[in-house]
Structures are given as structure tokens and as C-alpha cells.
Amino acid sequence: MKSIKILIALFAVPVLFSACTKKDELATKTYYAKVQVFVANLPGTPKLEVRYQNKPIGDAPLGVNGISGVSVEIGTNVLMSVYVKGTGELVADTVLNLKKGELRSFRVAYDKTLGITGWVNSKPVSQDSIALQLLNGLSNFNKTYPAYDFYLYYYDSNTGEFVQQGLVIPDFQNVKLYPVVITLPWAQPSDNSSPIFYLGKIKDRATGQFITFNSGNDFFIFEQVGSGGRSVIYPIDDDNIHSSIPAVEL
């Protein structure tokens, strides 16, 4: 009986060793996902490079020319960043939690003249909509109004009134490139050929009142693009805030 127990124990050792080995192999096996980085078509954009966990993995655009992404190891709270190539100048970064086999797409914009730097919309925009981001380039304005909120309105052509759209950005003075992409209808529901005009208002946090600009109005106009299906940035600065904000197409 004793010899039988010894034999069972001897057979169990390699089985246990094999199970432990397989468990270790699974624990150390590397899995991959894919990333691709598009670059907005802006004038003055220098060469950019993408870094994954602070190691360069290629120039941007990355993984988009005839291929669907570049393979990277998956992980938790992994840093991906874009720099001006060969420098320490950060353009944009993000923390990723990629899943095995996943493909993630990003789009980065850089134009030093316009003050645009960061992630922008990378998703297709339907033909009846526009996708926009706001860029706060105000400087002297901030000296007069050190704290303010942004409100988005639209012009209702049926009633002739300005209607609050719903977007409010508190402490807009602290915002540079607003990271949230705002997707809005491009045209009036009753007439697909007539664009909707959007307007911005700034509320002074000190007084609780909307600020009146040099135009005599308490609003400024976001110039509409020619058709839907586009991604744009509206750069607000000390000059155009008194009249209208041009759209920079991406």
C-alpha cells in the first residue's frame, strides 16, 4: 500500500510541474493590439513621431498608408504620445488600455502659428453634420475678464431667435484646445441646403452677465463651412471674438 502511494506521488510531480509551466507561459505570453495616428492637414506642421511607453515606434502619420495600424503590446495605463520629431516638444498624449486584437485610431493636429496642438476628431462625420472643437487663443481679453464661461447658441431661422444649444464650458479661460469633439447638425431640418448658424457667448463669472463685444453684440458668430461631413477647429482670439470666428478645416 505504501509503495502505491509513492508511485502516485511520483506520477503527480510531473503533472503538477507541467501545469505550473503552462500557467507561467500564459502569464508571460505577450498580446498585441494596433494603433494608427493620422495627422490633420494644416500648414506649418513639422515632422512628428509617435512614442509608445516613451519609445519611438514610427513617424506620424502612423499605420495609415495602405496598412491598418501598427502592432503594439497591450497593457494597462500605457502612455502613447506624439512629439515634434527629434525634440522634447510634446504635441499630444493619452493613456491607453488596449485589448487583444483591438485597433484604435487617433488624429493629431499641430500648427504653431494658429496655436493648435493636440488630439482632434478622428471619426468620420456624416454629411448632415459638422464636428468642431474650440481653441481658446484669448490673451489680452483674459486681463480684463480673468474668469468666464462659454455658452453655445444657434440661430433659429423659424423664430428669428438665438437658442441655447446646451453646451456650457465652465472656466473657459483655462482651456486651450477643448478636447471634446462637438458634433452638431449642419443644416436646418426643414431645409437641408440652409446651414445652421452657431454663436458663442461669454459670461463673466464676476458679474454673471454676458460680455458685450466691440461689435455692440453679446455674441460672436462661428463662420459656417460650405457643406456637412467636415471636421473643423474654431480658433477664438482677441481680434475675431468681436465679430466672427473662421473655421479651420482639418
Amino acid at position 116, single letter:
I
What percentage of the chain has pLDDT greater than the value 90?
A: 60
CA atoms of 180 and 165, how far apart (whole Å): 15
Dihedral angle of Cα 202, 205, 206, 209, to the nearest 10 degrees: 50
Asked if pLDDT for residue 25 goes beyond 70, the answer is no
Mean pLDDT for the stretch of residues 141-151: 96
Count other C-beta atoms under 10 Å from residue 70's C-beta: 18
CATH number of 129-249: 2.60.40
Residue-wise pLDDT tens digits, 198-236: 999 999 999 999 999 999 999 999 998 888 888 999 999
Q: What is the CA radius of gyration of the chain?
A: 26
Determine whether domain 32-119 maps to CATH 2.60.40: yes
Residue-wise pLDDT tens digits, 73-93: 988 899 999 999 999 999 999
pTM of the predicted model as reported, rounded to 2 decimal places: 0.73
- Confidence grade of residue 1 (pLDDT, cut at 50, 70, 90): low
What is the per-residue burial (b if ≥16 Cβ within 10 Å, else e) of 94-109? eebebeeeeebebbbb
All CATH 2.60.40 domain ranges in the chain, comma separated: 32-119, 129-249
Q: Which of the residue ranges 32-41, 112-121, 164-173 would you say has the lowest mean pLDDT?
A: 112-121
Residue 163: predicted pLDDT: 93
